[in-house]
Chains A and B, each alone.
Chain A
Amino acid sequence: MFEAFISGLTQVLSFPAFAFMMLGMGVGFVVGILPGLGGATAIALMLPFIYPMSPVEAVAFLLGMHSVCATTGDITSILFAIPGEPSCVATILDGHPMVKKGEAGRALGAALFSSLLGAWVGAFTLAAAMPIVRPLVMAFGSPEFFMIVFVGITFMSSLGGGSMVKAFAAAALGLLISMVGCSPHTGTLRYALGQLYLWEGVPLIPLVVGLFGIPEVVEMAVKGTSLAEVGPMGKVVGVMEGIKDTIRHWGLVVRCSILGALIGIIPGLGGGVAQFVAYGHAVQSSPDKERFGKGAVEGVLGPGAANNSKEGGALIPTVAFGVPAGATMAILLGAFLIMGLVPGPDMVDPEKHADITFSMVWTLVIANFICVGIALLFLNQIVKITRIKGTILIPFITLLIFLGAYANDNNFGDIISVMIFGLLGWAMVKWDWPRAPLILGVILGSLAENNLYISTARYGATWLGRPIVIILIVISILVIFYPFWQERRQKQKKVA
């Protein structure tokens, strides 16, 4: 195994592979920054180019592209409140308010550096898990998947910011939205309003981009300011501060990275859940919850780390079982097959292809390091965007919003979706309703429903008695009641 570990490294650092990795990173950087144009589409389009490459070269290229997308997606989330990837929504919650306070550099520095550490933890998890990965993933069945999603939903109690009732109501609305479309179990159309467009449910990207992006643009137009509402007099807190924050809160970053990696291992859950669980954890582990939603740097560190660590985790089921842990992984899987790498026991066998799997680990490590390094150098320049007058930025951002939504499926319906959800988002901001629980409900709704159905169809009621399920039930109870318990403790402290 150790030889495979080293062999993976030397293969990635060797000449053609390294050049391909840099090339992939370049493509990934552009794609990651453009909202809506997903890493998945980019990888699919690059597939024909990998035919002449050797397996390690192709891995370096595709994974270089993929890991950079995950990192740079946070940049538009923070600067414009438009998620570069659906897995970058949670970074908006505190990242964008930081920009408004004039702390754009700090937010970006924190996001990027925590992404780097997250990616390393994810890569390490992939490497460490290799000998035990098959029994590990086999232990998780549909009942366990459901419980993990359920735990994700319980984290909603920490996304409320202010009113918990509003948070749960928003989440309920999100769950309702997730039910739109064909029911998998009976094929009945639910709430499709007679539109073919809605058969597979409300598309996520226009929803997210509209819900978060449009209100920001409207606000900029109404207030007539630049992104950073602090005028030129405000202190520009720079990128170094963000990096220092990451190191200061290293415990949080490591914990969120581990969470992300573990969640990434579960097929289907991936990006949607990991970011919110990490954010929820960041909120709950902070003594002062009121700061969140208004520009608390921990709210950027948590999701930033989890976003990237989940990629390392997601490679595990993809490589070891051929079960892609998400759309991007599905396409990577296609690429592996093209290269003649059949996912399964061979990929973790040191006699066979473990060195290629290790080269994936090293690509994640090295590509993220280079990407973050380069980005940090240019960040102070990128931050200047936040000082440009709104009148110049608004048309550009609006174009980005609509283009991003449309580029997804080439469906005009997406434009209408963006506007409808933009209106909803604006209303929610105006009346102080949190939007994050809504997204959480949308992402988790169908996952929860499908896994619950499979669990009951297959196991009757006995699935509740499975050991991992019981542990997760206990965890969700703790998560739900923790804020109440903390509040009581603080009141007791005040009385004392």
Chain B
Amino acid sequence: MVGYSPGGGYDAYARLLARHMGKYIPGNPTFVVQNRPGASSLIAGNHIYSVAKPDGLTFGTVVRELYTRQLAKEPEVKCDWAKFSWIGSATSEVYVVMARAAKGVRNVEDIKKLPQPLFWGETVMGVGPTLLARAMEDTLGLEFKFVLGYGSSADYAMAMERGEIDIMGGSWGTLIAQRPHWLKEPRLVNIIMQGGIKRSPHLTDVPALGELVTSEKDKRLVLLIDAGNQTARPFIGPPGIPQDQLNLLRRAFDSALKDPALLSDAKKSKLAIDDPLTGEDCAKLAKEIVNVSPDDVTAYQKLLTQKK
């Protein structure tokens, strides 16, 4: 079950797995992908959690930051991120912050020197890039002016090319796959920094937010917002799948992600398979996220809306 309509990233990964995971399960079952969009995949999340039977025959994928809503204690969230039966995550993600080269900013120090705040474009508050932006504001003392309402990342990327916005956040993988001309000279953007506690092995010459913050509290905040990127394409089943069946699914998932046919398919579709995480590791991470201290939750909740 995919929490989005066909055609998007989560759907693409689900269909990729559906094509190749069957052969690692005895009996080579066929996988049927069902799309159940709505409420940014919360409908699918709730469905997988309470309606789907925990018989190992149903599992799905939802937005990687679904735990955000749980931490914000939204009443519509009827699922617990830590209690899902975690099958695994197909890849991890690195978010980068890019600013228009025309503004002359190359790093955080340059941003601080500007007389006016930069315009940060995004769809809504509360998604990965804006969480990062707000964290930058709260931990590094920066200030941005948020321009919200763009339909999708493609729309604000175009706004970037037009000069309508000055700075945005997004996936490094998507940048090099879909907008390589941004980095060719004359550059459109400078990469200011990357999210995460430390530099990703795919991007070693850009500072990570985790390096730039000093206090332990801030480092925990960075970890909390980056957790979604470590399980960038999460696959979860209803709680209570019997252990041996869950193990079967987990091993099939892991094997499928090493399968040469899947990897070749993924390469053709430009779907990155970088540092997938096993179900066990995902479950551990999920538990850590859900059990953070109330102080950390409060600091996190501040990131969901614009600074007052």
Give the interface of A toward B (CB within 8 A). Answer: 40-41, 43-45, 47-48, 51, 137-138, 141-142, 182, 184-187, 196-197, 199-200, 267-268, 317, 321-324, 327, 330-331, 333-334, 337-338, 340, 342-346, 409-411, 449-451, 453-454, 457-458
| Stretch from B104-112, B118-126, B217-225, B243-251 forming part of the interface with A | B118-126
- Cβ contact within 8 Å between A187 and B126: yes
Interface stretch among B92-100, B158-166, B189-197, B200-208?
A: B158-166
* B38 at the A interface (CB under 8 A): yes
Q: Are A331 and B7 touching (Cβ within 8 A)?
A: yes
The answer to whether A40 and B149 touch (CB under 8 A), given A142-B164, A411-B38, is no
Q: Which of B6, B119, B164, B165 has the most CB of A within 10 A?
A: B6
Q: In the complex, are the beta carbons of A48 and B179 less than 8 A apart? A: no
B5 at interface (Cβ–Cβ under 8 A)? Answer: yes
Are the C-beta atoms of B178 and A409 separated by less than 8 Å?
Answer: no
Chain A residue numbers with a CB within 8 Å of B179 are 322, 344
Q: Is the CB of B12 within 8 A of A334?
A: yes
Closest to A45 in B: B6
Which residues of chain B (235-273) have a CB below 8 Å from chain A? 265, 268-270
Q: Within the assembled complex, what's the spacing in Å between the Cα atoms of A90 and B37? A: 27
Contacts A323-B157, A449-B149 known; list 15 others, CB within 8 Å: A44-B7, A44-B11, A185-B149, A187-B125, A196-B76, A197-B39, A199-B39, A200-B38, A321-B158, A322-B178, A323-B154, A342-B180, A409-B38, A410-B34, A451-B149
Q: List 29 A-B contacts (CB under 8 A).
A: A44-B5, A44-B11, A47-B15, A48-B19, A51-B265, A141-B159, A185-B148, A196-B43, A197-B39, A199-B38, A199-B40, A200-B39, A200-B40, A267-B151, A267-B155, A321-B158, A324-B152, A330-B7, A338-B268, A409-B5, A409-B35, A409-B37, A411-B36, A450-B150, A454-B147, A454-B164, A457-B146, A458-B164, A458-B165
In whole angstroms, how far apart are the Cα atoms of A219 and B119 in the complex? Answer: 54
Q: Which of B120-158 contact A (CB under 8 A)?
A: 123-126, 145-152, 154-155, 157-158
Nearest B residue (CB) for A42: B6
The prevalent SS among residues of B at the interface is mixed
Asked if B161 and A138 make an inter-chain contact with CB atoms under 8 angstroms apart, the answer reads: yes
Instruction: State whether A327 touches B5 (Cβ < 8 A).
Output: yes
Which residues on the A side are within 8 Å of B147 (C-beta)? 454, 457-458
A residues near B265, Cβ cutoff 8 Å:
51
* B154 contacts A324, C-beta separation under 8 Å: yes
Per the CB 8 Å criterion, the residue count for chain B at the interface is: 52
Q: Which residue of A lies closest to B145 (CB)?
A: A457
Asked if B35 and A184 sit within 8 Å, CB to CB, the answer is no
Contact check, B148 vs A196: say whether CB atoms are below 8 A apart: no
Does chain A have a CB within 8 A of B177? Answer: yes
Q: Which A residues are CB-close (under 8 A) to B150?
A: 450, 454
Task: Chain B residues near A331: list those with CB within 8 A.
Answer: 6-7
Instruction: Name the CB-closest residue of A to B151.
Output: A268
User: Please, which residues of chain B bring their CB within 8 A of the CB of A344?
Assistant: 179-181
Take A40-B7, A327-B5, A410-B34 as given contacts and tell me if A450 and B151 are in contact as well, using a CB distance cutoff of 8 Å.
yes
Q: Would A186 and B155 count as touching, CB distance under 8 A?
A: no
In the bound complex, do residue A327 and residue B7 qualify as a contact, i.e. CB atoms below 8 Å apart?
Answer: yes
- Please state if A458 and B119 are interface contacts (CB–CB under 8 Å): yes
